Amino acid sequence: MESIILHADLNSFYASVECLYNPAIRNLPVAVCGSVENRHGIVLAKNQPAKMVGIKTGEAIWQAKLKAANLLVVPPHYDRYLRFGNLARKIYGTYSQRVEPFGMDEAWIDISFPGRSISDGYEIANQIRERIKFELGITVSIGVSFNKIFAKLGSDMKKPDAVTVISRENYKEKVWPLDVGELLYVGRATKRKLRNWNINTIGDLAQADALFIRNKLGKCGTILKDYALGNDYSQVENTEHETIIKSIGNSTTPPKDLCSLEDIRITSFVLSESVARRLREHGLKGKTVQIYMRDCDLEGFERQGQLKDYTNISTEIAHKAISLVEANWFFNKPIRSFGVRVSDLTSSKGPIQISIFKEENKRFKVMDLEYSIDTIRKRYGPYAIQRAALMQTRQFGDLSDNTEALMREVSFNTGEAR
């Protein structure tokens, strides 16, 4: 049975929702932007009139206003976006139980069924497109294909309010001429490497020598080449089953760049406190600590390392994060954003392996202390009790629970996210 996968992408999502709540601004150039005071003053989303004058996601507000003097800047309202994202997924759920979210505004939908063809997928995609427009008042672009990667490419090809079919018969014609950076998980660094080897399009990658790609990019390169060839067999997750939490993390873009190891150390403790609390809240411990760093030129990288024991103790997580920074950051550029994540999770209620070579009683006391701190903060607020070393963290912005991100399993675990 041939798979029929849809990828739905709500058009200019944040801006579309804001225009829905305020129809008077619909025909004006509108940009949803972060807080200038917290140095998040960039364009998060823009509507179609703003796109037509060249405003781009990620540019600073002052840059956007140079392109449109009448640009209307509105703050984000994430509660609204969550609501509309959930409403859209309910519509998708009437067509299939296999709906896998990819952020708030995107989702894959598996509508495979014996006897169903790609043309049936096109008809169903159009039904969804019309329902989103009629029931929610916003628009969606949908890609229809035989795998998730090409369905995602299809939803990006024609916007707004459109359906694009990428079949086994036409994918070489439609997909291979595209810039290689359009392929999911080919980030800026990988794209730059591929261009250095004269691999400029997805077709170039598909036809490149497999051994060469593997030697240059490792296993990740082999997977990307398979994607370019249409060999993606990952499944759309079934929402009948609760998604298993695979990792918990938190990241921040502070008001000022992190320029020294002391800056990183303080921020690591702030983020680790948050991550450890969430682990305890979900009854989990983790053994792998990952860091994410992005410098002032927006070049980013991730590194990870294993702990000796499973933990949800903030000090142990922070110390591991700091050691990863020391081993991998060479202080050549200031850090714009920084994140800490814990993965390789297990239940905190399971048996504990006791070691005669460590002060286990001291570790148990630290665990009890952190649970007590959780209780105090829950009652009196996140700043009711803090480490002395963290008293100066206000210069790095508010890293309380409203900035936390709970990261769940994703079928793709290769390359760089775009």
pLDDT in tens, 314-353: 889 999 999 999 998 888 888 888 999 999 888 876 555 5
Question: Can you give the pLDDT at residue 37?
Answer: 57
Proportion of the chain above pLDDT 70, given as a percent:
85
Q: Does residue 127 sit within a domain?
A: yes
**Cα–Cα dist 106/85, whole Å:** 8
What burial class does residue 56 get, using C-beta atoms within 10 Å of its C-beta: 0-12 exposed, 13-18 middle, 19+ buried?
Answer: middle
Q: Of 167, 195, 213, which residue is a domain's last?
A: 167
Number of domains in the chain: 3
Model pLDDT for residues 134-174, shown as the tens digit of each residue: 999 999 999 999 999 999 999 999 999 999 999 999 999 99
Residue 270 covered by a domain: yes
30 and 131 together in one domain: yes
Please choose, from the candidates 78, 76, 49, 73, the residue with its C-alpha nearest in 3D space to the C-alpha of residue 63.
73
Could you tell me the pLDDT band of residue 242, with boundaries at 50, 70 and 90?
Answer: very low
Segment 126-133 long-range contacts (CB within 8 Å, at least 24 positions apart): 126/163, 127/95, 128/6, 128/8, 128/91, 128/92, 128/95, 129/161, 129/162, 129/163, 131/91, 132/8, 132/10, 132/88, 132/91, 133/161
Domain boundary among 196, 225, 241: 241
Domain-embedded: residue 268? yes
Give the model's pLDDT for residue 270: 87
Which CATH number fits the domain that encloses residue 53? 3.30.70.270
Same domain, 63 and 180: no
106 in active site: yes
Given this model, what pLDDT does residue 175 score?
Answer: 97
Query: What's the pLDDT score for residue 352?
Result: 58
The pLDDT value recorded for residue 318 is 92
Give the model confidence (pLDDT) of 246-287 as tens digits: 788 888 877 788 888 888 998 998 899 889 888 888 888 899
Cβ contact 212:180 at 8 Å: no
Alpha helix (H) ranges present in 175-249? 188-196, 202-207, 210-228
pLDDT (mean) for 108-132: 96
58 and 138 belong to one structural domain: yes
Facing residues of 286 across strands? 311, 345
Supply the CATH number for residue 195's domain.
1.10.150.20
Sheet containing 43-46: order of strands:
43-46, 30-33, 72-74
Residue 417 belongs to a domain: no
Query: Which candidate, 257, 5, 39, places its Cα nearest to that of 142?
Result: 5
Which residue range(s) make up the domain with 384?
247-407
User: 251 and 395 share a domain?
Assistant: yes
Q: What is the CA radius of gyration of the chain?
A: 23
pLDDT at 289: 95
Average pLDDT over residues 199-225: 95
407, containing H or E segment: strand 405-407
Count CB atoms within 10 A of the CB of residue 344.
16
**Whole-number Å distance between alpha carbons of 58 and 313:** 35
**Distance separating alpha carbons of residues 76 and 345, to the nearest angstrom:** 33
Position 412 in a domain: no
Spatial distance between the Cα atoms of 359 and 368, rounded to a whole number of angstroms: 15
Mean pLDDT of 32-40: 68
Question: Are 149 and 232 members of one domain?
Answer: no
pLDDT at position 239 is: 53
With vertex at residue 249, the alpha carbon angle to CA 246 and CA 250, rounded to the nearest 5 degrees, is: 160
Query: Which of these is catalytic: 100, 106, 273, 316?
Result: 106
pLDDT at position 132 is 97
Same domain, 252 and 397: yes
Give 392's pLDDT tier (boundaries 50, 70, 90).
low
Question: Does one domain contain both 231 and 285?
Answer: no
Report residue 244's pLDDT band, with 50, 70 and 90 as the boundaries. Answer: low
For the beta carbon of residue 351, count every other beta carbon within 10 angstroms.
5
Mean pLDDT, range 127-139, rounded to an integer = 97
Both 264 and 369 in a single domain? yes
- For residue 114, cis peptide bond before it (omega within 30 degrees of 0): no
- Helix 13-21 / helix 78-93 crossing angle, nearest 10 deg: 110
The pLDDT of residue 412:
35
pLDDT higher than 70, residue 240? no
Of 219, 224, 140, 121, nearest to 182 by C-alpha is 224
Least confident of 50-54, 71-75, 333-337, 354-358: 354-358
- Residue 101 domain-assigned (yes or no): yes
Distance CA(245)–CA(409), nearest Å, equals: 6
When mean pLDDT is compared across 34-43, 81-90, 193-202, 386-395, the lowest value belongs to: 386-395
Residues 230 and 303 in one domain: no
Domain check: are 29 and 101 in the same one? yes
Q: How far apart, in whole angstroms, are the C-alpha atoms of residue 381 and residue 77?
A: 23
Q: Which of 241, 269, 288 is the last residue of a domain?
A: 241
Exposed/middle/buried for residue 131 (C-beta within 10 Å: 0-12, 13-18, 19+): middle
pLDDT of residue 55: 93
Under DSSP, is residue 62 helix (H, G, I), strand (E, B) or coil?
Answer: helix
pLDDT value at position 109? 97
E-assigned strands of 28-167?
A: 30-33, 43-46, 72-74, 99-101, 106-110, 140-145, 163-166
Provide, rounded to the nearest whole percent, the portion of the chain with pLDDT above 90.
Answer: 53
Q: Does 15 share its domain with 150?
A: yes
